[in-house]
Structure 1
């Protein structure tokens, strides 16, 4: 029995959880209720959950094409990725650069870094932290651009993908270790500039943050090319969910001091493995995550990409306007208003930007004669609106 179904409610639940974690964690950077600090210090892992989801969905789509046709429809793949991601992203970039009121911080990195998706390299989050959350999109775009070609090179070899997977994981750990020894270990955590360097050399670079994407790709490979492993996942979804808890619990304890050696080297991997177990559970028919969809999580999942892109600017504008009305920006009411506004902006993006662009994409694919472009890849793209929505 295949792990994947035409409709994966579980992935919607996880994507909704991911955007909720990210939103609440970033809300700490604004005026907020006291309870936010007590319950959201692990919210940074929402981005890692998005990474695992992206690796699983995008690699699964490509593996599905390789299995059915022996090749990849690269033109289709890149056209779909472009129209799903680039238009809303460019709209948000334009808002940041053309309307200073939208900026949640004092300064932006150069425009070319956003346009080339290299913003995550050398990111000065302390002095140029406006729209800093674009770093994760940069990593995913770099991933989208390279993964199809890597899979084509490895397609005819059965052992190479598994060997490469473990080698890349080891390389990521090694590069984090080298980065730690080179730039972080010589500093005291109380020194000026410590956090700037930690974020710049440990947290943001692509080569130190591939754990989640690699775990997602590895899981997709098991689903498509390891029948025994896929059957085990399919029949034991709830056990895989439970198996993720020890990894996430260990990560939570280790990462209480997020910039410690143990957290910097092992924390991201533990989080990725834990969420990998949850993604496996969400795709397994035997799991409680799989069985029932919820309207709220389905809608949050569909809006997660544009909410992720715009939420800091929307929160900033909301609180600025609330200050003029006398409503305390540290209140729960202000939080609810910010949530409402972020969802409203996400809906605006859906109907004014995303839907028209997806319609244009479909017309272009039809005109170019890419017949398979409008057909969902079995077992993957029907899990949600489009795999590119992961963030």
Structure 2
């Protein structure tokens, strides 16, 4: 293992962030345990796992757009939204349909579902859902979708004015969303601020000057110390909630700490190695389906293992495994095929073919250079 920091050029050359799949795997599993293995899993503080997703999503989406701009001189909104639609909608609306069928067959909660259906259909899940459990956890998808609708527009506009404004505007956006502008916005802004923290991290790391500030964290030794400190912070979340008397300050500090640790997971070191292990990446790649269909998995787990009591570690394990089985099936049969459909639509209808550029002749004793996977998306 090399004991040095990662250079900015090496960071920009990364084509995939496997460790972030491992991070998403942890986030998804602790969320499932929070929902279905309490009181045993109370100490895991799994409720904060959704904000790990938010930091990672904000970081990855912004990094993709920044690199697209560097590569093409522009950011294609049409391509961005097509990718997001084919990534999010198929599994989301399938989950909604399955939930509706389950509610209808159970004979209870149908009127409540019909009342809330417009919110589900329009990704306004975080509003008016108190007291109705089925598909309630998808409020996070509603938050992310609205972030995707607005942030790319802001980034494109600011970039057109001046690249130097990107970081100040991101900082200002974080401050603005934390203001309680109305009763309906009350306590909503904290979630958007976490997505913006991930976006701010992407902007800082993309900038040579900003990267130099966080480069020490990419040293393996410093990264281990930072990761241990973050784990200790996670273990003391209940104490922090008691100290502040509210979740919002804890969520903000936790997410900010994660953003500071995250560069160490991108560079070679123990953290990246651990989170890039194949089982971790396997779960992380299926984390969307695992998270989305966890409620369905509870019903299946009850049929497959009726002897498992609620609120135990065993129930958390069983529900997680059943969720993962469902997610894996959907990953191969729906999620990846629909993502591929989106790519083909972009390639066929939205992306203009590049003008052929004559390649310079390679020296006789030198193999022709290959550009690699420069056009391939980062891990999402």
TM range (shorter): 0.7 to 0.9
The TM-score with structure 2 as length reference comes to 0.80
| Bigger radius of gyration | 2
301 and 321 in structure 1: CA distance in 2 versus 1, 3 angstrom threshold: closer
In structure 2, what is the Cα distance between the partners aligned to 1:224 and 1:357? 30
- 1:196 equivalent in structure 2: none
Gap regions ≥5 residues in structure 1: 184-199
Query: Structure 1's 380 and 168: CA in aligned 2 closer, same or farther, altered over 3 A?
Result: farther
Paired residue secondary structure (1:117): coil
Cα distance per residue 1:161-206 (max 9 Å; x no partner): 222222222234443xx88xx89xxxxxxxxxxxxxxxx943xx2x
Instruction: Provide the secondary structure at the position in 2 that maps to 1:361.
Output: helix
Distance 1:342 1:224 in 2: 36
1:279 matched to 2:284: no
SS at match of 2:287: helix
CA distance in structure 2 between the aligned counterparts of 1:102 and 1:275, rounded to whole angstroms:
42
Pick closer, same or farther for the CA change 1:368–1:276 going to 2, 3 Å.
Answer: same
Matching of residues 1-391 of structure 1 within 5 Å: 1=7, 2-4=10-12, 5-28=14-37, 35-37=40-42, 39-40=43-44, 42-100=45-103, 106=109, 107-108=112-113, 110-124=116-130, 127-155=131-159, 156-175=161-180, 201-202=186-187, 205=188, 207-227=189-209, 229-230=211-212, 232-233=215-216, 235-236=218-219, 238-240=221-223, 242-243=225-226, 246=229, 249=232, 253=236, 255-256=238-239, 258=241, 262-285=245-268, 287-291=269-273, 293-319=276-302, 322-323=305-306, 326-329=307-310, 333-368=314-349, 370=351, 378=374, 381-382=377-378, 384=379, 387=380
CA RMSD for the aligned pairs? 3.3
1:45–1:297 CA distance, 2 compared to 1 (3 A):
same
Q: Structure 1 152/233 Cα, relative in aligned 2: closer, same or farther at 3 Å?
A: farther
2:223/2:264 contact within 8 Å kept: yes
Q: 1:7: how far off?
A: 3.4
Deviation of 1:328 (Å): 4.2
Counterpart CA distance in 2 for 1:14 and 1:372 is 36
Aligned-partner Cα distance in 2 for 1:64–1:130:
39
CA gap of 1:333–1:129, structure 2 versus 1, over 3 A, is closer
Q: 1:381 to 1:262 in 2, by over 3 A?
A: farther
Cα-to-partner distance string for 1:60-108 (whole Å, 9 max, x where unaligned): 00011122222111221111111111001110010011222898x9554
Q: Which residue of 1 aligns with 2:360?
A: none
TM-score (norm 1): 0.78
Separation in structure 2 between the aligned mates of residue 330 and residue 92 of structure 1, nearest angstrom: 24
Residue 333 of structure 1: how far off its partner (Å):
4.7
Moved more, 82-91 or 269-278: 269-278
**TM-aligned CA deviation for residue 208 of structure 1:** 2.8
Q: How many residues align?
A: 348
Structure 2 unaligned regions, length at least 5: 1-6, 355-370
2:358 is matched with which residue? none
Mapped partners of 1:289, 1:371: distance in 2: 40
On the 8 A contact 2:167/2:204 being kept in 1, the answer is no
Assess, with a 3 A threshold, how the Cα gap between structure 1 residues 172 and 366 changes in structure 2: closer, same or farther.
closer
Query: Are the aligned partners of 1:92 and 1:309 in contact in 2 as well (CA < 8 Å)?
Result: yes
- The alignment partner of 2:206 has SS state of helix
